[in-house]
Amino acid sequence: MADNPIPFSRRADDFVTRVEQALGQHLGEPGQHPSRLHEALHYAVFNGGKRLRPLLVYATGEALSIPPDRLDAPACAVELIHCYSLVHDDLPAMDDDDLRRGRPTLHLAYDEALAILAGDALQALAFEILGSDPTLDQPPSARAGVIAELASACGVDGMAGGQALDLAYEGRQPDIDELETMYRQKTGALIRAAVLMPCSLNTEPDEMTCRELATFADCIGLAFQIRDDVLDVEGETATIGKTQGADQARNKATWPSLIGVEASNRRVDELADRARACLEHIDHDTAALAWLATRMVNREF
């Protein structure tokens, strides 16, 4: 595939539309039976999110010359997992958040039971899509690779494990290394999966490139989360769309609370530099990934 002459920045909205259309098709009409659960799934998924993880899937696909129609299933699946994790993280027993992107969280808009079930059903739907999408038949190892990558990012060594650490650290202060481990699992694992799933689709596996992509993903995943901490301290509720200072209010350890805002910002910059260096080692068109990395790390939303 020739390098696309139109920069990714001007095509990103098209990819967002693309994945949202695909998500809509997978979710079906909101009026279906049982209607409250269907409505809740729509509420959870069509939430004004930036779709950064699907964009990472498509941008990695550009670097690996994988056409978008082979990336729709992984893009949908990773976003569904992300949406389910937000719903469960917001639950009263977890972070007990009232606002998510400026709207009531799902358990307030519906109820707690439906929020638990909606999250459960979204996780199942992600794997149903990956289990049934015919574009994953080739190469023969593609489906296994994609599913194993995503599932392990969700599990006890990934997102769920990271969230368990997060809760454990409300009782005692973690040190900076423990916080980093937690971030790598809680948000980093899914960002890594978004980048590594397209690697599993490659008909000509290129281990060196995939190793660089994995490091790239790890760096931007961690930077993204540290930036989120800084925004929680600095931002205003209206801008970030959730309750500002929520971490402080819960007396939660964050990057700024452990090493300060300035040092946190420096760490973000270092990680962004390392991420960019990884892309320079890759002998493909990584312009889309570079643009997305900048957007994720310098984000002001």
**Number of amino acids touching a second copy (CB under 8 A):** 55
18/88 Cα distance (integer angstroms): 26
227/293 Cα distance (integer angstroms): 12
C-beta closer to a second copy: residue 49 or 158: 158
147 binds a second copy per the rule CB under 8 A: yes
Give one DSSP letter per residue of 147-207, joined into a string.
HHHHHHHHSTTTHHHHHHHHHHTTTS---HHHHHHHHIIIIIHHHHHHHHHHHHH-SS--H
Q: Which of 155, 205, 245, 260 binds a second copy (CB under 8 A)?
A: 155
| Contact letters for a second copy, residues 31-50 (x by CB under 8 A) | -xxx-xxx--x---------
249 binds a second copy per the rule CB under 8 A: no
14/47 Cα distance (integer angstroms): 17
| Contact letters for a second copy, residues 49-88 (x by CB under 8 A) | -----------------------------------x---x
Q: Which of 29, 137, 204, 236 binds a second copy (CB under 8 A)?
A: 137
Say how many C-beta atoms besides its own lie within 10 A of residue 161's C-beta.
17
Task: Using alpha carbons, select from 73, 49, 71, 55 the residue that is nearest to residue 8.
Answer: 55
Q: Which residues contact 297 (CB under 8 A, 6 or more apart)?
A: 220, 223, 224, 227, 268, 271, 272, 275
132 binds a second copy per the rule CB under 8 A: yes
Say how many C-beta atoms besides its own lie within 10 A of residue 283's C-beta.
11
C-beta closer to a second copy: residue 27 or 220: 27
| Contact letters for a second copy, residues 100-119 (x by CB under 8 A) | -----------xxxx-xxxx
Q: Tell me which residues touch a second copy (CB under 8 A).
A: 32-34, 36-38, 41, 84, 88, 91, 93-94, 111-114, 116-121, 123-125, 127-128, 130-132, 136-137, 140, 143-152, 154-156, 158-161, 163-165, 167-168
